[in-house]
Chain A
Amino acid sequence: MTDTLTPVLTRNWGQPRSWVLDEYRAQGGYEGLKKALTMTPTEVMNEVKDANLRGRGGAGFPTGMKWSFVPQDNPNPKYLVVNGDESEPGTCKDIPLLMASPHTLVEGVIISSYAINAHTAFIYIRGEVVHPIRRVRKAVQEAYDAGLLGKDILGSGYDLDVIVHSGAGAYICGEETALLNSLEGLRGQPRLRPPFPAVAGLYASPTVVNNVESISTVPSILAYGKDWFTSMGTEKSKGFTIYSLSGHVAHPGQYEAPMGITMRELIDLAGGIREGHQLKFFTPGGSSTPILTPDALDTVMDFEGLAAAGTMLGTKAMQIFDETTSIVRTTRRWVEFYKHESCGKCTPCREGTWWLAQLLARFEEGTAHEGDVDKLLSVCDDITGKSFCTLAEGAVACVTSAVRNFREEFEVGYHTPAWEYLPYAKSALFPVAQDDLEVRA
């Protein structure tokens, strides 16, 4: 079964002190950079373009194409900004990567900045994850000390400064324009587009914003070549990626595999659903991607396969729930998250999540009114397609897909609390008192 795995990004995670420069180099680190510096920036960009690397942060936009949007005749400086504000419920790939192998990212940052002619790059990391931030800062310092950053990198004449910025803990700052606002010291709220960041991003200058994993994938493409990369994956989703499995599987964790693996294979890799239980539903790419049920187990886990299934690959964060789990409780927890994280800029998201959370509370407590399921869907419809950014779409998607698949279970909320219908202690991985679980979110 291990044949299915293709550890590239995760390859050195098990090594002792994998986050230290010497260890990283011993594993072949910074070879991609050396190769890149022998090429022109345009050649580097084309290599990534031809490898058809698609953004790993959720949207799947081709990374090389994004780079090519930077107007090189713009007199302003160009910036690379790495989005490490990983905060989606279920999503947990970037933080372990930063923790285990920060140099993979640093190397990717140098190559990517070189490709777009940026001389300053920013790594924006979610503020709560203090330890990974320290690792990245330390890695950047090591890179400076080793001549991998700063002036005349490895004698190439290319200069680059990298600034590691810790966010203040807002999910919305994962949205690229809100991230840029936050980086500029402004309130983290999304900006109007156009202008797009590629034209007027950070400090109104051309800016590329890429996910941590996308940038971390770049060194291997340079080191081993685009053909190696495109030999993996499916027709339109090339290469490998990190799938994060959490929840009711025997061995939760990061599984790096080629694009196009199925959910069934992934669950097998994780040792199957915990013993004595069956899969009830799962998210394919974090809580904002519509949930799927066991009949979708053979769906190909790439951008196209999941789109065809009416959901999204997202951040490839599979939250796996067995039959003991209350869909009502789960949905409420997700919506409470979106309500808490709504930036408040636009009406549908701000007020809509406030309303959804109140409705879902009634379902969980068994005090929902007859007809509230339709009201719930109607409120979702009020929000859908009207918000400023896509945060609200995620909040709505988890509700509508839950109701679509488990309407009867929501209707139980007309008369029975969720904790009576599906006692929460049974879904816990560890022994816990029922009382402790009846927490009002």
Chain B
Amino acid sequence: MSEPISMAEMITLTIDGAQVSVPKGTLAIRAAEAAGVAIPRFCDHPLLDPAGACRQCLVEIPDAGNGRGFPKPQPSCTTEAANGMVIKTQATSQMAKDAQEQILELLLLNHPLDCPICDKGGECPLQNQALADGRANTRFDGVKRTYPKPIPLSDLILLDRERCVLCARCTRFSDQISGDPMINLVERGAKSQIGIYPDEPYDSYFSGNVTQICPVGALTSADYRFSARPFDLTSTVTTCENCASGCQIRVDARRGVVRRRLAGENAEVNEEWSCDRGRFGFVSGHQKDRLTRPMVRKSGELVPVSWPEAIEAAVTGLKRARLDVGVLTGGRLTVETNYAYSRFARAVLHTNSIDFRSRSQSAEEAQFLAQHVAGRAGQDCVTYADLEKASKVVLVSFEPEDESPMVFLRLRKANRKKGLKIVTIAAYASRGAAKMGAELIPARPSDVPQAIRDLDIDKDAIILAGVPLTQIPGSFTALADKVAESGARLAWVPRRAGEIGALEAGCLPTLLPSGHLVSDDASRDEMSEVWGSRLPSTPGLSALELLQAASEGNIKALVTAGIEARDFLDPDAALAGFEKAFVVSLENRMSDVAALANVVLPVDLLETTEGTFLNWEHRVCPVDEAVPNPRAAMTDIRVLAALAEGLGKDLGFRTAAAARIELASLPTWTGPREPMTPVAALEPGRSIQLVTWRELLDDSRCLDGADALLATAREVVARISPQTLRDEGLATSTYVRLTGTKGSVVYPIRVEPTMVDGAIWVPFNPHSWRLNQTGLGVGANVILAAAPAPTKEGE
């Protein structure tokens, strides 16, 4: 039913006496839904291939559309609707009703009556359908099968086998949707059960989905099990903040505490899925280091003070710095909050030195973003649906399974169902690439610009560019040229949820909101008019320039929001800047930056605020307040308004709602865009080049406290081609020492046959194996040496 109805041939059939028209190929159970008839089911799931296993959805078909009927009840989940077919469900057919009651009685034969202690009790399809469609009593008085319980499928997912009705939703999900067939049915008959291979846990990035689609309480997650009753939960529909996919999620809170998150249903974005990071990575704000009171540094120590005193201290510091200020907003804020910072920097602090990129960055990237990504206002943006229809999708230094899991699922689906051709310009064929059926264009970082230029694509192709390109000079130039030459469409998929919003809100030194340019007088005037303040025309400094200038004493004050020094490629250099400047840190948890700050202003967690994210498609994804804020924190916008007031200016709004209204009223800049200054690619050289990206589960502080989730993270290894291993004299080594300008890290070696020669891949920031101890990034020339096994993890 995902195909547009107008595209498909329609057929008409009769269900319980009512006529309904559906596209040819529709299953009877879906046709019944279209007619408003719910047929009970367990194994059926609209996004999984039909199984016909549970037999709960049996219906009577007195006429298959050819004048002849079926003498026996038929499963509506595997029967294709036909023109002229007559279907009688349990509502109008005794045969169907009897069959369904019989199947339910059989299903309950071996199912324990433990609803009062089962996590699913209260939201259980088996419980609901047994009540709605089953008999009141069972005639079974024999022995039920029992098992020791529960058994872990992974550190995250637990299985209570006696509750399982063997619908195979979980195994079909893991196989068909996520491509991780790590769980399967084992044993036979009534002893059938879900199992894993010995010592191979179900460590899929998408494992949490099986707990949600399980129609009984057989699959539960370690972190939610026994922690709440469904009917005690208050649900809020909102957007996940863990990446730029923009998944709709449902947040369930019990007495003001978020207990779990579920995938929401948004057919256009995440369909009905979520990744495990989005589902389980929400407890970082519940840790002990949550900031609850404003603090000011006195005699070298941060001490709690009142809000007025803290605001006063911040204002004093900012006044003293005059124009030598900068604003760092990170990539995790809502559009509204980003917009407040943007206006605060320009109209209150009178500086263009604002940057959301607390990560590697380049001027080439900033130009590219201004030229090709910002100021689209949702127009002509690549969407998930577009990906499925493309003639080809090209991934450039972009690993969807790690960086945008929903893009990964959508591409895998399109490849599996429609044969979408996917190519990836990467150093090796990752597991994610294999699961999408992607063809590898092997490239060392220095080869990427040329690989882009060599692409064979037409105007119906789509290029997805990843954040690591920032570290590859010439790559954005090549992308811009390729798009101009081929007419192909292009989307930039950042890692963080707030980055597209930050762009549109103008959190770049060169960029004002809605694509307006600092460098263009007319453009700047449009924004001056809205803000009622003359805006600075002096180009601002980027994040790295700001920190450099701060460490040299040329920037005297920094306002930061959700920044970690270790987000930067060289954390020590960043810290040097933060140490020297007067730092006003708006934070919700203690961080390495807040610890150095002069004023710390506690702000809300996302779960206690409202606003919007723009996902990578530039789609508006609403964020709603899931729980009331019981603490003394304020929203960023409220704090900025107070700071503005202290500085004698008016921010213009004090709530996200008001900021949103102002943002919506902004004209989109339609004038000339700043042309890109071509940047040359690096000479390949003969050194070994470093390739790295952030895996989905790493030591991100957003995942703090999600211990069960982190236990499913991928094994830390360095991937090297067999040839390079021989060339580097590592053929017999088990460990490799990777040495950079600042230090070295030792990794276990994994021979990767698809790895391009002359390169090494390591994950960016796994726990205890921190690459940025070496000061190296993508494309850096590295020195490899054999190393003994580390005495303790990560040395």
Contacts and interface: CB of A to CB of B under 8 A. Distances in A.
Given A187-B184, A348-B103, A350-B166, A343 B78 contact: no
Interface in A66-122: none
Contact of A351 (B52, B187, B188, B190): B190
Given A344-B185, A347-B56, A388-B52, A192 B110 contact: no
Interface of A: 170, 187, 192, 339-348, 350-355, 358-359, 375, 378, 381-383, 385-388
Interface string B48-69: 0011111110100000000000
A172 to B, nearest CB: 8
Interface in B598-613: none
Nearest to A338: B189
Contacts of B105: 382
B106 A347 contact: yes
A347 B78 CA distance: 15
Given A344-B166, A344-B190, 16 more contacts: A187-B184, A192-B78, A342-B188, A344-B187, A344-B192, A345-B168, A347-B107, A347-B165, A351-B107, A354-B189, A378-B139, A382-B103, A386-B73, A386-B99, A386-B103, A388-B53
Contact of A343 (B55, B99, B189): B189
Given A187-B184, A347-B54, A382 B106 contact: yes
A385 B191 contact: no
A358 B73 contact: no
Nearest to B167: A347
Nearest to B191: A344
Contacts of B102: 348, 381-382, 386
Contact of B72 (A192, A342, A385): A385
Contacts of A386: 55, 58, 72-73, 99, 102-103
Interface in B37-57: 50-56
B717 interface: no
A375 B102 CA distance: 13
Q: Is the interface of A mostly helix, strand, loop or mixed?
A: helix
B140 A350 contact: no
Nearest to A342: B189
A291 B188 CA distance: 27
A73 B624 CA distance: 58
B567 to A, nearest CB: 46
B143 interface: yes
Contacts of A345: 51, 53, 166, 168
Shortest Cβ-Cβ A-B pairs, 3 listed: A344-B192, A385-B72, A358-B142
B103 A170 contact: no
B468 to A, nearest CB: 38
Contacts of B107: 347, 351
Given A355-B142, A382-B105, A386-B102, A347 B53 contact: yes
24 contacts: A192-B51, A192-B52, A340-B189, A341-B189, A342-B189, A344-B191, A344-B192, A345-B166, A346-B55, A347-B53, A347-B165, A350-B189, A350-B192, A351-B109, A354-B190, A355-B140, A358-B143, A375-B139, A382-B103, A385-B71, A385-B72, A386-B99, A388-B52, A388-B53
Contacts of A350: 166, 189-190, 192
A273 to B, nearest CB: 35
A381 B142 CA distance: 18
Interface in B78-105: 78, 99, 102-103, 105
A97 B33 CA distance: 53
Contacts of A170: 188
Contacts of A347: 53-56, 103, 106-107, 165-166
Interface string B143-176: 1010000000000000000000110100000000
Interface of B: 50-56, 58, 71-73, 78, 99, 102-103, 105-107, 109-110, 139-140, 142-143, 145, 165-166, 168, 184-185, 187-192
Contacts of A354: 109-110, 145, 189-190
Contacts of B192: 343-344, 350
Most buried by A among B50, B54, B55: B55
Contacts of B53: 345-347, 388
Contacts of B189: 339-344, 350, 353-354
B142 A351 contact: no
Contacts of A340: 188-189
Contacts of B139: 375, 378
B103 A343 contact: no
A350 B145 CA distance: 12
B348 to A, nearest CB: 65
A382 B103 CA distance: 7
Contacts of B166: 344-345, 347, 350
A188 to B, nearest CB: 9
A378 B140 CA distance: 12
Nearest to B189: A342
Contacts of B165: 347
A339 B110 CA distance: 14
A346 B50 CA distance: 13
Contacts of B109: 351, 354-355
B107 to A, nearest CB: 5
Nearest to B111: A351
A343 B73 CA distance: 21
Contacts of A375: 139
B658 to A, nearest CB: 56
B352 to A, nearest CB: 60
A130 to B, nearest CB: 22
Contacts of A339: 189-190
A358 B141 CA distance: 9
Contacts of A383: 106
- Residue from A187, A343, A345 whose CB has the most chain B CB atoms within 10 Å: A345
Contacts of B185: 187, 344
A346 B165 CA distance: 10
A355 B52 CA distance: 21
Nearest to B78: A192
B110 to A, nearest CB: 6
A358 B139 CA distance: 13
Contacts of B191: 344
Contacts of B58: 386
Nearest to A349: B189
A346 B54 CA distance: 5
A387 B103 CA distance: 10
B50 A341 contact: no
A342 B187 CA distance: 10
A381 B103 CA distance: 11
Contacts of B71: 385
A170 B192 CA distance: 14
A170 B106 CA distance: 23
Most B-side CB within 10 Å, residue of A350, A358, A382: A350
Contacts of A358: 142-143
Given A341-B188, A351-B190, A192 B142 contact: no
The interface centre, meaning the residue of A341, A347, A355 with most chain B CB atoms within 10 A of its CB, is A347
Nearest to B142: A358
A383 B73 CA distance: 11
A327 to B, nearest CB: 21
A387 B185 CA distance: 19
B106 A351 contact: yes
Contacts of A343: 188-189, 192
Nearest to A339: B189
Contacts of B142: 355, 358-359
A28 B90 CA distance: 62
A378 B73 CA distance: 17
A348 B52 contact: no
Contacts of B187: 344
Contacts of A382: 102-103, 105-106
Contacts of A381: 102
A346 B166 CA distance: 8
A279 to B, nearest CB: 33
A194 B213 CA distance: 26
Contacts of B99: 386
